[in-house]
Chain A
């Protein structure tokens, strides 16, 4: 007997997550842009970065920003791929590539944030 095998995942959770992370990113991104550009030095000197990174809450915001941005961005790329009909091997290759790139760059970003020392 023929049985139609397909994913039960309609993508609704991904849809909701895309909305939630998107709205969070709007707030974070506007704040980030103003903070980085209200003064030419604020985003472009080591001292300014070091000064901000003395606050752990600021590090937490930055790490959240990386994770949310990566998730939202790569989920968006995956949604573009989902508009096309893909052979299973291509589908899994694309997902794997996105996950590997996402995890690698997120880890790199975390590494950069944690490498900045606390001055006591």
Chain B
């Protein structure tokens, strides 16, 4: 094993096969050298990169959807309120709350990226990643309290 990098299951299968047949022969695997030695490591900010990408794609998709869903504003009050009645259900409120999770991750990780690109910020990228999760969960719960406080007041 070269280091403790994770490999894709496909490569792992072929590796174990070749290891069992040529156990003691060490060959230079030119074909897979780059993917095995220079591939992204899943432990050095890579999860931040993956989540940033997923949340980013989701948010731009939502922006298109948002412009579409607000378009009844051109048709006046009745059309808009009818459309918004669909989005005022508890189900959509929970969806909006989880959308905020995407927003807050992308925001905090974006700030982290700006700091990491700055002078000495790269030294602290792991601490900043953990900090962004802690802050993000706190802000997520705070936004939940803000969004659902009126619903909760009705219940009690």
Measuring CB to CB, which residues of chain A are less than 8 angstroms from any residue of chain B? 19, 22-23, 25-26, 29-30, 33-34, 37-40, 44-47, 49-50, 66, 69-70, 73-74, 76-77, 80, 101, 105, 108-109, 111-112, 115-116
Known: A33-B103, A38-B146, A115-B73. A105 touches B60 (CB 8 A): no
Majority secondary structure, B binding face: helix
Known: A22-B114, A40-B150. A77 touches B60 (CB 8 A): yes
6 additional A-B residue pairs with CB within 8 Å, beyond A23-B114, A40-B151, A80-B56: A19-B114, A26-B111, A40-B88, A112-B70, A112-B71, A112-B74
User: B34 contacts the other chain (Cβ, under 8 Å)?
Assistant: no
Q: Given the complex, which residues of A lie within 8 Å of B84, measured CB to CB?
A: 44-46
A40–B88 alpha-carbon span in the complex (Å): 8
- Which B residue sits closest to A111, measured CB to CB? B74
Q: Is A116's CB under 8 angstroms from B64's CB?
A: no
Majority secondary structure, A binding face: helix
A82–B74 alpha-carbon span in the complex (Å): 37
Partner of B87, one of A23, A44, A74, A77: A44
